[in-house]
Amino acid sequence: MTETTAGREGFVRGALSRTLATLETISSVVIFVMMILTFIDVIGRYVFHKPIFGGTEIIAALLALTIFSGLGVINARDDHITVELFEGPVSRLVSPVLYEIIIQAFSVLAMGLVAFVLFEHAWEAYHLGKLTEVLEMPVYYTTGTVAVFAVISLISQITGVVLKISDLISGNASDAS
Amino acid sequence: MTTALIGFAVLLALCFFGFRVGFATLIVGFVGFALERGWLASLGMVAQQVTEDAQNYNLSVIPLFILMGTFIYRSDISRDLYDAAYAGLGRFKGGLALATVLACGGFSAVCGSTLATAATMSKVAMPQMKAYDYSDKLAAGTIAAGGTLGIMIPPSVPLVIYGIIAEQDIGLLFIAGILPGMMLVLLFLLAVSIMVRIDPASAPAAAALEPERKSKALRGAMPVLVLFVIVLGGIYGGIFTPTEASGIGACGAAVIALLRGHLRTFAEWRLCLVEAAMTTAKIFIVLFGAVVFTQFINLSGMPYDLLDQVDAWQLDGPGLVLFICLIALLMGMVFESIGIIVLLVPVFLPALYATGVDMIWFGIIVVLVTEIGLITPPIGMNVFVVKSVLPQVRLVDIFRGVGFFIAALGLGLIAVYNVPQIATFLPSIAR
């Protein structure tokens, strides 16, 4: 590997690592706020007879943000639920690199589909001027943010996949040498 | 029906070959729906399903109960729970293994994760049992099996997911899980006793707990009981909805951790919150895939074809449930609990409703079957977790060790199947 390539790869790894740390922080803040809001909502409802106005809508929006900010990290680390019954034999049969490329391309395709439909959904909500029922807040605030996170998830996933395959290839090369 | 069967076959093949379960289900569902209704309609369906589920207020119960479990997991309470259980059961033969079962039950009542329970107890109980020369088979088998209790004893994420899919009251499902959960604890205690009786050398006598440590353990374990009573009692008494209870439970668990000297730094908080958020994301991508796949299966008409088939076979409700149990048992050998529930339940829903099956009872049955899948070969998730925490223990010993517990779970299944009141009695009072 030339020094330029190594430097470029190091930059990409650093950028990915910082992005994932940011996504982790966002997801942790969001889930914390969700917990506190739910708690305050319950106490407000039962003790003071005054629940948080639109609490349900806010918590629902926070749920979506938790999922999609977390998904960015899960995607990049390829930490998804798998069955792994024939993974070993199939991987050896078709070569580990090719196997990984096929598996990861499929995952990227699926995440791309999710990001695309979410973006389209947010765009539609924006054009129709849809509002939420209680807070009467534009729906696209949430759907748009979720779509942005889905796109970030997709980008971090692609970056993670490329780095993983690059590691596999260089591992194979060093094994061969 | 043929299209749906092809869809299922493709999905199983993709999962077995290592494609990520959530993504495989999503793509098969999307393509299957598109082949029936067109690509544009399918895109719209995916958008609607994913958006609705991602912003479903009732589903916020999942991250919050996971968070509650994470706080409890990090609060280091497992040691006190184990000691408290040993204080009560230590005088019996195999006391350390019996205490492990009870501690697993107690821990899972506030943790809700089978894997976290197995991993924690591997660290807490195994050194104790090894110190007194317990056999690997008994010790590791008990931990792997004890961890499965988390799936039945509320709060249980698989029960929440079942409730969402089958449109059942999650609170009632939690309440329904209490008696079967307690029964399973008793059956596991019985399994340990039988194992020790057959092979007394596997569990030599251990020393009694010193009085000071005993009282410290009982004091230390008390908050877990209080939290469990608040969360479940709140739901049972109609004071909280499950979502509200999950918020209260998560805050309560954080307070317990704080009082025990944890969560004192930003890093500790971050660790717990990130862990819960990541687990949530992992579960939801499977859920998104499942709802999309279900739309395709419904469109293919398979659930209604199955309903006709049930009529043709003249299956009554219990017969149908037995048939589903057999399929779930087979799936349990390779799929984890959530995968089984999301793939199996929607397909049989119309037939289950038509045959008048009590859906709360069925929920408990299906969760119990998936619990067996957690410790059966070739892929028993809990067995692998114990193996990863205790690499020195041979996998074959853990699988041999869970044999009696699989039999105990089988007995529990037969009991709940034949006496539905074990699951339906408490909900019938709550209703």
Out of B18, B247, B336, the one facing A35 most closely (by C-beta) is B247
pLDDT at position B170 over 50: yes
**Alpha-carbon distance B415 to nearest alpha carbon in chain A (angstroms):** 30
Position B267 scores a pLDDT of: 94
In whole numbers, what is the pLDDT of chain A averaged over residues? Answer: 88
User: pLDDT exceeding 70 applies to what percent of chain B?
Assistant: 100
Are B55 and A90 inside 8 Å of each other by CB?
Answer: no
Across the strands, what pairs with B266?
A: none
Nearest-Cα distance to chain A for B232, in Å, is: 15
Among B195, B184, B72, which residue's Cα sits nearest to residue B135? Answer: B195
pLDDT tens track for B7-64: 989 988 898 888 998 999 999 999 999 999 999 999 999 999 999 999 999 888 889 9
Give the minimum alpha-carbon distance from A164 to chain B in angstroms, rounded to a whole number. Answer: 16
How many angstroms separate the CA atoms of B35 and B383, rounded?
40
Which amino acid is located at B75 in the chain? S
Instruction: Pick A39 or B307 by higher pLDDT.
Output: A39
Q: Flag whether pLDDT at B87 surpasses 70.
A: yes
Q: B249 to chain A: which residues are within 8 Å by CB?
A: none
Are B60 and A87 a contacting pair at CB < 8 A?
Answer: no
Q: How confident is the model at residue A75 (pLDDT cuts 50, 70, 90)?
A: very high
Determine the pLDDT at residue B390: 83
Which residue does chain B place closest to A117, by CA atoms?
B47
Show the tokens assigned to A166: 């690059």
Q: Distance from A17 to chain B by nearest Cα, in Å?
A: 15
Q: How far apart are CA A65 and CA B85, in angstroms?
A: 40
Q: What is the spatial distance between Cα B163 and Cα B82, in angstroms, rounded to a whole number?
A: 32
Please compute the mean of the pLDDT values over residues B243-265 and round it to a whole number: 92
**What separation, in Å, do the N-terminal and C-terminal C-alpha atoms of chain A show?**
14
> Is the pLDDT at A175 greater than 60, yes or no?
no
* CB < 8 Å to B30, chain A: 113
Residue A3 has pLDDT above 80, yes or no: no
Chain A contact present for B418, CB below 8 A: no
Judge whether A108 and A151 are in contact, CB under 8 Å: no
**Structure token digits, residue B29:** 């569902």
Q: What is the pLDDT of residue B366?
A: 94
Please, which residues 207-246 of chain B have a Cβ atom closer than 8 Å to chain A?
239-240, 243-244, 246
Task: Place A10 in a pLDDT band, splitting at 50, 70 and 90.
Answer: confident
Q: Is B237 exposed, middle or buried (0-12, 13-18, 19+ CB in 10 A)?
A: exposed
CA B125/CA B79 separation, integer angstroms: 8
Backbone dihedral region of A54: left (phi > 0), alpha (psi from -120 to 50 degrees) or beta?
left
Contact B22 A56 (CB under 8 A): no
- Asked whether residue B365 carries a pLDDT value surpassing 80, the answer given is yes
CB A59 to CB B246 under 8 A?
A: no
Judging contacts by C-beta atoms under 8 Å, the chain A residues touching residue B339 are 81, 83
The position carrying tokens 């006709």 is: B308
Q: Which of B15, B276, B277 sits opposite A83 (nearest CB)?
A: B15
When pLDDT is cut at 50, 70 and 90, the band that residue B334 belongs to is confident
More confident of the two residues A6 and A20? A20
Q: How close B43 gets to chain A, by Cα (Å)?
A: 6
A177 has a pLDDT exceeding 50? no
Which of A66, A79, A25 lies closest to A149, judged by CA?
A: A66
DSSP letter, residue A137: -
Q: Which of A117, A118, A157 to mutate against chain B (most B CBs within 10 Å)?
A: A117
Q: Tell whether B39 is within 8 A of chain A (Cβ).
A: no
The mean pLDDT of B56-84, rounded to a whole number, is 86
Which member of B17, B54, B280 has the closest CB to residue A90?
B17
Disruptive mutation site among A26, A41, A85, A124 for chain B (greatest number of B CBs within 10 Å) = A85
Beta-carbon separation of B277 and A61 below 8 A: no
| Average pLDDT estimate for B249-261 | 92
Number of CB atoms found within 10 A of residue A8's CB: 12
Most confident of A3-7, A171-175, B149-153: B149-153
Confidence of residue A174 (pLDDT cuts 50, 70, 90): low
- Select the more confidently predicted residue: B7 or B431: B7
Q: For residue A1, what pLDDT is reported?
A: 56
Sign of the alpha-carbon dihedral angle for B105, B107, B112, B116: negative
* Helix A87-94, helix A96-128: angle, nearest 10: 110
The total of other beta-carbon atoms located within 10 Å of residue A50's CB is 10
Distance from CA of B424 to the nearest CA of A (A): 28
- Interface residue B322 vs chain A (CB under 8 A): no
Residue of A nearest to B270 (CA): A28
Q: Answer yes or no: is pLDDT of B79 > 70.
A: yes
Q: Is B273 on the interface with A (CB under 8 A)?
A: yes
- Of A60-74, A156-170, B387-401, the range with the highest mean pLDDT is A60-74
The residues, ordered by sequence, that sit 6+ positions from A128 with a Cβ below 8 Å of its Cβ are none
Determine if residue B301 is left, alpha or beta; phi over 0 gives left, psi from -120 to 50 gives alpha, anything else beta: left
Q: With an 8 Å Cβ cutoff, are A36 and B286 in contact? A: no
Q: Which amino acid, residue B151?
A: I
User: Given this model, what pLDDT does residue A127 score?
Assistant: 93
| B281 has a chain A CB within 8 A of its CB | yes
**Residue of A25, A38, A107, A149 to mutate for B, most B C-beta atoms under 10 A:** A38
Tally Cβ neighbours within 10 Å of residue A125: 20
**Which string of b and e fits A63-80 if b means at least 16 CB within 10 Å?**
bbbbbbbbbbbbbbebbb
On average, the pLDDT of chain B sits at 88
Tell me which residue has tokens 């077995």.
Answer: B16
- The mean pLDDT value for B111-125 works out to 80
Q: pLDDT by residue (tens digit) across A11-60?
A: 888 999 999 999 999 999 999 999 999 999 988 988 888 889 999 999 99
Q: Which residue has the higher pLDDT, B42 or B260?
A: B42
The interface predicted TM-score (ipTM) is 0.91
Indicate the burial class of B91 (C-beta count within 10 angstroms; 0-12, 13-18, 19 or more). exposed
- Among chain B residues, the shortest Cα distance to A47 is held by B239
Chain centroid to Cα B211, Å, comes to 35
What is the pLDDT at residue B100?
A: 92
Mark B186-214 as b/e (b = at least 16 C-beta within 10 Å).
ebbbbbbbebbeeeeebbeebeebeeeeb
pLDDT band (50, 70, 90) for residue B431: low
The pLDDT, as a whole number, for residue B247 is: 92
